[in-house]
Structure 1
Amino acid sequence: MKMRLLVLAILWSSTTLFAQDYFPKNDGVKTTNNNYTAFTNAKIYVTPTQIIDGGTLLIQNGKVVQAGKTVTLPKSTIVIDLNGKSIYPSFIDIYSDFGVEKPKKASGGGRSGEYDPSREGYYWNDHVMPENKAISVFKYDDKKAKEIRDAGFGVVNSHIHDGIARGTGILVALNGAGNDAERILDDASAQYFSFDKSIAKTQAYPSSLMGSMALLRQMYSDADWYSKGNSKTKDLSLEALNNNKGLISIFEAKDKGNALRADKIGDANNLQYVILGGGNEYESINEIKGTNAKFILPLNFPDAYDVSNPYQASYVTLEDMRYWNQAPSNPKVMAENGVAFSFTLYDLKSPSAFKDKLMQAIENGLSKTKALEALTTTPASILGKSNKIGSLTPGNYANFLITSGDVFDKGTTLYENWVQGTKNIVNSKDQKDIRGDYDLAIGGTTYNVAISGEVNKPKSEIKQDTVKLKSKISYDDNWLDLSFNTDKGEKIYRMTALVIPSSDNISGRLVLPDGSESSFNAVRTKAFTEKEDEKKDKEAPVVVPVTFPNVGHGYATRPVQETMLFKNATVWTSEDAGILENTDVLIKNGKISKIGKDLSSGGAKVIDATGKHLTAGVIDEHSHIAALAVNEGGQNSSAEVKMEDVVDPEDVGIYRDLAGGVTSIQILHGSANPIGGRSAIIKLKWGETADKMIYSNSPKFIKFALGENVKQSNWGSFNRFPQTRMGVEQLFMDYFQRGKEYDAKKKSGQPYRYDEEMEVIAEILNGERFISCHSYVQSEINMLMKVADKFGFKVNTFTHILEGYKVADKMAEHGVGASTFSDWWAYKFEVNDAIPYNAAIMHSQGVTVAINSDDAEMSRRLNQEAAKTVKYGGMSELEAWKTVTINPAKLLHIDNRVGSIKEGKDADVVLWNDHPLSIYAKAEKTLIDGAVYFDLEKDKQLRQSIDQERNTLINMMLKEKDNGNATQAPVKKENRLLHCDSL
């Protein structure tokens, strides 16, 4: 019988969504209750800025009828007197997963580009699922709804948190008394996107942030192509994406950098995303403001670290210490800069943690008005639902909170959360305030009882004389339970009482330690008053300043161009002029203005360079620092991805390179596949944004690769073509033939599907993009040159090229340059034939040769790597120096701007305290575009200030622990250095 009833209940609940108000009712009376309810004498926040003191809120049938100072009450109005209490609109969370089951992680590995056969008729990539609908999997959970309501929320906007294109969400009122037809306010409230692929799908691509960005770009392009009727096949995913074009688009970024990346994708497709932030937007506030996006901000501020152990304290980076200190000020900074935002429960351990985190934001300067806007009117406006939710204006849903006072005060109690006119009790508003001091006499002994805390969640402290005893208290619906142990803990006294509202004292039943029953009477001796340190306004927390970048060794202000005159230097020009002794160099307006002897300063800052050496900045042709990812290995070609998308301006490797005299690098894609991604050529402008580091009018490069890595012999993968060196050649032939056909169709004027990958291949064929190819073995080096000759283009650079000495004459004939290691060999099988004379031999055959690093540590010592070519092969000092200055500049096609000291070139120069090829040489100053980005003396000061700041923050965290606040254990982070084969 029970099973039958359960089945009937399930069937009934599943049909309520489709029930209509005109269906016949045969299960009871048909009269609808249309009574009014009036809440009088309350302080009513109609909106965050429209406040009525002593007002009346009138509701009927789940909607607001009127809110005002004087409201005429209709007949049959139920009146609830809220004298001394406040009414606020219920909060709104527009980034929730309420009622949507978390996706289960798929078993098995990736399928290297193969999509799930069960998705036939949908987009080629499994992680693009705009056809998903939260409404189709939604299941109301009142237990979870209660947790959210108890935190003050009345409406949530929920979606399936899985995939890159996630489909549509639903807007749900947390009305447990209603059915889905009543509480679902919008069954397609917004569409959702992210950079994270689905955990429920196993398709390998994309395997990186840059792959996700490329996929999104291609998806939008394909949707446009499809919308114009050009596709010969049906694609339900693209149809859904096009059908949802008019919906709000919400993007899960979770980081300031990813917010800017998402905004670029949106701008390219005429979309303005609403962005889920990461809490660190304050670090790049000008750029964040420039997106013109509205943000959804989590309040998942980190707990302080437990730094009581000095050894473990060393695990915590300055960056993480700062984030703990600065993150709670993020909402204030956003508000001050005019960035609209709403708050979300997303990423909190539980909804119950919300108020404490919100209070942190307010203590850090966020105004209460802005806080209320972020929870009511702003989220309603973002969703285009201001006429339904977010305020208590007539016609809106009757979603409101009843509180004991200011909802953002620590001691305020939330009594009720009404949703669609349905009352939900959080704490009884009729419960008496029993806080205060009492004398409790038991068996000739008097105990001092102090009750504090919140009205509905009191705390107890019981003392016998001056000895504090262990006690427990609970208080609900005027029923009090109180127990305590004696000082040694061997005796337990338990008390229960029904509190009488008219009495100051508390009397009830007492259970003695021996189990016998008696009565007790606690006599009130003092009314409750907040402690002075709690009652007075707290001083604003001390927030350490943000630096550029906001990590260790960041600068208080960004470097600016200076007019500087270097006097009496030994100038290594890297030009035909060679090395000039006792020469002056004038830097002006970011350029090398004059070179000569006895130049006048003309108001320039004079640097005495007597006995020192001035060179052009070192250039690293092959680097992987300053990148968030290196490989997109999900497919055998990733020509569509861009390293420019994942430049990391906060990588400390930039600062270290500057200390080694490096001013420009090419960030190359790795060697996970034969055709890799597009390069980023950047200037190491420490403290600037990624966009400002990238060369303007940057030459176009792409990484190719040969050898062991691309055929995957290093990581045992057997499910992706190619698996042999022969297969690598055929892959190149196939892609270039396809690229040739694609380009021909594009130039013919016929309609064509824009393919970002084929666009890049066509650029190579047209001489618009240059190849830098990872290479080792002579047979493969010859192979790629032959493929290039067949298709009529030139390989620009062979990088690594450790068997280049075997084919140097053929390389010179082809016109390809070499970027090699100075003396690496035998670190894997295909480099067994490498020799340290390689660079000198290729140079002797007329090949343009550069020395590169492919390594974060070596990159800052390239001056020493260049010196090895003097030892191995007898290159002159000047020619050796060119291998890290003008030669890499030539290979990168930026030699018209950098790489040598020549009038008119960019002022990217380094002042060394010794011969630049010496192991004793230190870079005293490193300039880029005439601004000093590294100064040896300032570095010493910076190190001292870092120590002082760490000590300040450690003391702050120790104080947090002493005050009983939550802390987290320090965890040592490994700083992973990326290489060609990093996945």
Structure 2
Amino acid sequence: MKKVLLFVFAMLLTTRVQSQNYFPNNESVQSKNENYTAFINAKIYVTPTQIINKGTLLIQKGKVISAGTTIPIPKNTIVVNLDGKTIYPSFIDLYTSFGIEKPKSTSPMSRGQLYDTKRAGYYWNENIRSEVNAFENYKYDTSKAEEFLKSGFGVVGTHVQDGIARGTGTLIALNNFDNSKRLLANKITNHFGFTRSALTTQSYPSSLMGMMALIRQMYFDMDWYKKGNSETKDISLEALIENQNLVQLFASEDKLNSLRASKIAKEFGINYILKGSGNEFERIDEIKKTNAKFIIPINFPEAYDVSDPIQANQMELKDLRFWNQAPTNPKVLAENGIVFALTTDNLKKLENFRTNLLKAVQYGFDATKALEALTTIPASIIGKNNEIGTLSNGSYANFIITSGDYFDKKTVIYENWVQGNRFVVNDMTIKDIRGNYDLVINNETFKWKISGEMTSPKSEITTADNKKLNSKITIANQWLTTIIKPSDSLKTNFTRLSTYLGSTPILGGKAIVKDGKEVSWIATKTSEFKADPEDKKEEKLNPVQPVTFPNVAFGNEQKLVTQNLLFKNATIWTNEKEGILENTDVLIKEGKIAAIGKNLSDPKATVIDAKGKHLTSGIIDEHSHIAISRGVNEGGHNSSAEVTIQDVVNSEDPNIYRDLAGGVTISQLLHGSANPIGGRSAIVKWKWGLSPEEMLYKNQPKFIKFALGENVKQSNWGNINPIRFPQTRMGVEQVFTDYFQRAKEYDLAWKNYNSSKKGKTPRVDLELQTLAEILNKERFITCHSYVQSEILMLMNVAEKFNFRVNTFTHILEGYKVADKMKEHGVGASTFSDWWAYKFEVNDAIPFNGPIMHNKGIVVAYNSDDAEMSRRLNQEAAKAVKYGDVSEEEAWKFVTLNPAKLLHIDDKVGSIKIGKDADVVLWNTNPLSIYAKAEKTIIEGVVYFDSQRDEEQRKAIAKERSVLIGQLLEEKNKGMITQEPKKAERTEYHCDTMEY
């Protein structure tokens, strides 16, 4: 036995001496090496579609000289035989913060700098940081670079991920050996996003709509500045101008935000590359229409631990479903012809990148498309396809060497070369030691099975009497170490084996046994490794749930279409001079009301028996705050006329479906009441399943939200130390007067310039432009109001500037000034019976609406509340209860009258031939507390159907059960799970503030 051991040690020593690396891993040697290196007999991916079998890759001085099958090899060449191995171009990640220190956040509640910036010579808003250059801020991070290198990346784009205009990004080669070559481009991209800067205390903008308005103003200012109109220097605008020819990269981080960013791009003729979020598949038709290129993360969500049924029940279907569907996103994008690169952004660990990528391939993402998304596409996006992303002649020698097909999970990445410098991921010379052995330790015999992956084997040791011992095997730098846990109760009595791995099939070396004694060990292979049949099985994929429109509970499997419908024998509430018609038919064709009468027929129409039921026009909510994304108030300034709710409609808010179930077909989505002059509104038709743009009322009249009272002077803002002007009611009046005077002067300046075309071009000011529209009677005011003195004040200000207030909303003291309101010509959108919920409402009475109505004012009842909007039919009934208003007139409070206030009564609000087919079929009198909407129809499309709703409830319960079953199976397989999260959704009200 001793002779055998001596022979083994001699063989190991000889192997170690002869087993030097084929290329020295020394910085000074590598950086000065000018020899050729030829990698022969490899499968070479020059590009994802140009593949060479048994080829040669020749490199020199960090560049590719040639790749092919008949490459002449110069004499001064280091030759590396890669028989059976594969070479791919190293990957490119364009969206990282590599080497960038994360900006330290200031206090989000500090609201001292409301208007001005302390940064002299820069843009007026500190979220515009276009002068920032990543190459001036980054510090090469060797440790992080190694993580990227191990994942196959050779080049990264990096930038400061802070602010709305974030400045330029730089391109870095992950060359850990030669810092003089790392910087491939100082400025390669120009970055934007929908997030505030952590480095500013300015309150504006606090909302998504404010961010969009700020971006628009920034571009107008850039153009104005570029033409030499400014008398002062602006470093931020100069940087924007200087960098406008760079690749413009916008971090949208959500499918709907991608549509919003594309909207801005279209307005200003910009070609944004959009950095998405992974949910693009949910709105793929709209995403495709943007014609934008994307950078897509593959940070698929971990499975949820739904073993606790109470926690599981708190989860929304959309979150369970997204876990199931997310891996299909790359496939869906590729199949729809969308050009996109991949990024590691938002991964918890970089090592998860390949795991997730392989998962995407399993779910149908074409492997060639995947390679393109990691190589040629990102290189093309930044105009560097001649330098990186391929192994074409003259490109950088950036490539990975693998044991085989990268998309085979068994494949090992051996090396990653960047600019001709070698980074070892896994030792390519390592021998496959897997198999069955007879193990002898100090004359004690064992059976040793080594299985698992070649680079990370598993150990199983059994004693002579078939007792298993816990053991762990590790291989690093050609050294094998094995720790055998003791079989007795002493937890410290480990046996440690070690040896250098050579070419001999016999393993052996020294062992330290439990008493600290050093002994010899030897392992002789008795049979080769055979993979477990279970390992060869394809991983079972979870069936993917179908995407719905929208992709949430009660979404539709197909987008709904217009139908020709014939309602027979209904009670028709026409809201016209005909009044209420009994046993009457209504024909809907091509989205319009085509006929009203008895005994109607149409062979192409679906007949609906409406006998005993009531057909009305759809309810119109004049004042709503549902379905708004990321902020209902932009309250940092006392005027935010430049912002618009149209930018931030959230087409996936479940409150839309609930409104439809309550018979609501149209709503005006209003800015909140945080400031005297709020933002522009959005009039929407609740076309459930369509995009935000498709929900917007076509050619809608222009409205804006104003506000009076406690909110705007900040008397009820709590302990946030409000300091913004105004702080008093007289200050509120002064705000209106000042802004309208400024708008008048602004409008005059533009009219004079447009007529003469002389002098400097006036600066486009979106805020004053909007207010000028009011003066020119092109935009109408809906004003939040309570107290009679303020109501009178605003009417006086309006008359001073020769316009009229369109609507006072809330208006709970309207009954006190109804005569003055009638004289002014203003309408009222009020509550049915709200009172005393704050001090300025103490004088409210439930007879308010009827009193104003009887005075000849157009009166509507609104919701201003997500819950109330579902039962506005009952709110209308309160006009009968409190004011003895007729049922027919009371019904107009929520249909025809709000249509009149919104200037859309020529199209909606009543059942009349030629009007839009926005109707609701009720099971009984709509003013009854027992009334339920059976069908809610918009332009001939049945967006809510009570029978379909029942079927969907059953389908939802079944789908939840299927998804929970899949999640439980994931946990049982030992997969990583996360705790279920209950979705938190903010229900916006007039005074909701977010920072």
- What TM-score do you get using the length of structure 1 for normalisation? 0.95
Distance 1:446 1:826, change over 3 A: farther
1:9 alignment partner in structure 2: none
Which residue of structure 1 aligns with residue 525 of structure 2?
Answer: 524
Q: Which residue of 1 aligns with 2:417?
A: 418
The answer for the alignment partner of 1:121 in structure 2 is 121
The residue aligned with 2:259 is 260
* Correspondence 1:751-770 to 2 at 5 A: 751-770=761-780
Moved more, 849-858 or 438-447: 438-447
AA in 1 matched with 2:321: R
Mean alpha-carbon deviation: is it higher for 481-490 or for 224-233?
A: 481-490
Q: Name the amino acid aligned to 2:561.
A: V
2:290 and 2:218 map into 1 onto residues whose CA distance is 22
What's the counterpart of residue 431 of structure 1? 430
Contact 1:331–1:366 (CA under 8 A) maintained in structure 2: yes
Q: How far did 1:504 drift?
A: 3.1
Say whether residues 1:899 and 2:900 are aligned partners.
no
Which of 922, 928, 933 lines up with 1:923 in the alignment? 933
SS at match of 1:314: helix
- How big is the shift at 1:910? 0.5
| CA offsets 1:422-452 (integer angstroms, 9 cap, x no match) | 1111111011111233344568976554333
Tell me the residue number matched to 1:741. Answer: 745
Distance 2:447 2:849 in 1: 87
Structure 1: distance between partners of 2:600 and 2:29 = 102
Correspondent of 1:863 among 873, 880, 890: 873
Q: Select the residue among 648, 651, 659 that pairs with 1:649.
A: 651
**1:686-835 maps to which residues of 2 (within 5 A)?**
686-716=688-718, 717-749=721-753, 751-835=761-845
Q: Residue 619 of structure 1 contacts residue 889 of structure 1 at CA under 8 Å; is this kept in 2? A: yes
Q: What's the offset of the Cα at 1:201?
A: 1.3
Work out whether residues 567 and 607 of structure 1, in 8 Å CA contact, stay in contact via their aligned partners in 2. Answer: yes
Q: What is the CA distance between 1:474 and its match in structure 2?
A: 0.9
361-370 vs 722-731, greater mean Cα deviation? 361-370
Letter in 2 for 1:796: N
Aligned to 1:502: 503
**Residue identity matched to 1:886:** L
- Summarize deviations over 1:676-722 as a string: whole Å, max 9, x none: 00000000011010011001101100000000001111114422000
CA contact (8 A) 2:31 2:178 kept: no
* Counterparts of residues 347-366 of structure 1 (less than 5 Å): 347-366=346-365
Per the alignment, residue 161 of structure 1 pairs with 161
Moved more, 810-819 or 500-509: 500-509
**Structure 1, 726-735 or 313-322: larger mean CA deviation:** 313-322
The whole-number CA distance in structure 2 between the counterparts of 1:719 and 1:337 is 52
Find the counterpart in structure 2 of residue 327 from structure 1.
326
Name the CA distance, whole Å, in 1 between partners of 2:518 and 2:510.
7
Secondary structure, aligned partner of 2:224: helix
Q: Distance in 2 between matches of 1:872 and 1:475?
A: 84
SS in 2 for 1:268: helix
Equivalent residue for 1:634, pick from 633, 636, 651: 636
1:874 matched to 2:884? The reply is yes
Q: CA deviation at 1:33?
A: 3.9
Q: TM-score, normalised by structure 2?
A: 0.94
Is 2:970 the counterpart of 1:969? no
User: What aligned pairs does 1:329-408 form with structure 2 within 5 A after superposition?
Assistant: 329-408=328-407
Alpha-carbon distance change, 952 to 919 in structure 1, aligned in 2, over 3 angstroms? same
Give the equivalent residue in structure 2 for 1:15: none
User: Take 1:225 and 1:468, find their aligned partners in 2: how far apart are those partners?
Assistant: 79
Which amino acid in 2 is paired with 1:498? T
Paired residue for 1:669? 671
What CA distance in whole angstroms lies between the structure 2 residues aligned with 1:719 and 1:65?
67
* CA distance in structure 1 between the aligned counterparts of 2:644 and 2:591, rounded to whole angstroms: 28
Is the CA contact (8 Å cut-off) linking 2:499 and 2:510 kept in structure 1? no
* 1:603 CA drift (Å): 2.9
**Aligned residue runs from structure 1 range 946-961, under 5 A:** 946-961=956-971
Q: Deviations for 1:394-432, whole angstroms, at most 9, x for unmatched residues?
A: 111111111111122211111111111111111110111
1:843 alignment counterpart = 853
* Further displaced range: 808-817 or 104-113: 104-113
User: How far apart in 1 are the matches of 2:60 and 2:357?
Assistant: 32
The one-letter code matched in structure 2 to 1:723 is Q
SS in 2 for 1:856: coil
Contact conserved, 2:224 with 2:763, CA < 8 A, in 1?
yes
Q: Name the CA shift for 1:901/1:170 in 2 (closer, same or farther; >3 Å).
A: same
| Root-mean-square deviation over aligned CA pairs | 1.8
Going from structure 1 to structure 2, the CA distance change for 1:530 and 1:642 (only over 3 Å counts) comes to: farther
Q: SS in structure 2 opposite 1:424?
A: strand
1:937 to 923, 941, 947: 947
Question: What amino acid maps onto 2:387 in structure 1?
Answer: K
Whether the 8 Å contact between 2:573 and 2:617 is mirrored in structure 1 is yes
Matched, 1:853 2:855: no
Separation of aligned partners in 2, 1:844 and 1:500:
98
Q: What's the counterpart of residue 242 of structure 2?
A: 243
Q: Which amino acid aligns with 2:738?
A: D
Paired residues of 1:435 and 1:450 also in contact (CA < 8 A)? yes
Structure 2 distance, partners of 1:494, 1:679, is 75
3-state DSSP of counterpart to 1:861? helix
Superimposed CA distance per residue, residues 9-32 of structure 1 (whole angstroms, 9 cap, x where no aligned partner): xxxxxxxxxxxxxxxxxxx99996
CA distance in 2, matches of 1:528, 1:971: 44
Determine if contact 2:641/2:704 at 8 Å carries over to the other structure: yes
User: What is the distance in 2 between the residues matched to 1:916 and 1:404?
Assistant: 72
Amino acid at match of 2:340: F
User: 1:812–1:30: structure 2 CA closer, same or farther, 3 Å change rule?
Assistant: closer
* Bigger mean CA deviation after superposition, 947-956 or 401-410: 401-410
2:21 alignment partner in structure 1: none
Partner of 2:24: none
Given that 2:917 and 2:937 are in contact with CA atoms closer than 8 Å, whether structure 1 keeps it comes out as: yes
Shift of 1:116: 3.0
Letter in 2 for 1:660: G
1:454 to partner: Cα distance: 2.5
Identity among equivalent positions (%) equals 61
Question: Pairwise mapping of residues 589-608 of structure 1 onto structure 2 (< 5 A)?
Answer: 589-608=590-609
Q: How many angstroms apart in 1 are the aligned matches of 2:768 and 2:237?
A: 21
Mapping of 1:577-616 within 5 angstroms?
Answer: 577-616=578-617
> How big is the shift at 1:653?
0.2
Q: 1:785 to 1:416 in 2, by over 3 A?
A: same
How many residues are paired up?
Answer: 954
Counterpart Cα distance in 1 of 2:437 and 2:612: 83
Contact 2:484/2:496 (8 A) holds in 1: no
Does residue 201 (structure 1) correspond to residue 211 (structure 2)? The answer is no
Change (3 A) 1:77 1:901: same
What is the match of residue 7 of structure 1?
none
Label 1:793 to 1:86 Cα distance change in 2 as closer, same or farther (>3 A).
same
Summarize deviations over 1:351-391 as a string: whole Å, max 9, x none.
22211111111111111111111111111000100111110
* Contact 2:633 2:673 (C-alpha < 8 Å) held by counterparts: yes
Q: Secondary structure at the match of 2:684?
A: strand
Query: Which digits, 9 at most, give the CA deviation of each residue in 1:248-292, with x for residues without a partner?
Result: 000001100111111111111111101100000001111111111
Give the match for residue 178 of structure 1.
Answer: 178
Distance 1:446 1:912, change over 3 A: farther
Separation of aligned partners in 2, 1:334 and 1:801: 50
Could you tell me which runs of 5 or more consecutive residues in structure 2 were left unpaired when the two chains were aligned. Answer: 1-27
Contact 1:112/1:720 (8 A) holds in 2: no
CA drift of 1:838 comes to: 0.4
What secondary structure, in the 3-state scheme, does the structure 2 residue paired with 1:378 have? helix
Map 1:45-56 to 2 at 5 A. 45-56=45-56
| 2:547 corresponding residue in structure 1 | 546
Tell me the SS of whatever aligns to 1:167: strand
Greater CA deviation, 709-718 or 199-208? 709-718
Aligned-partner residue type, residue 853 of structure 1:
S
Q: Which amino acid aligns with 1:956?
A: Q
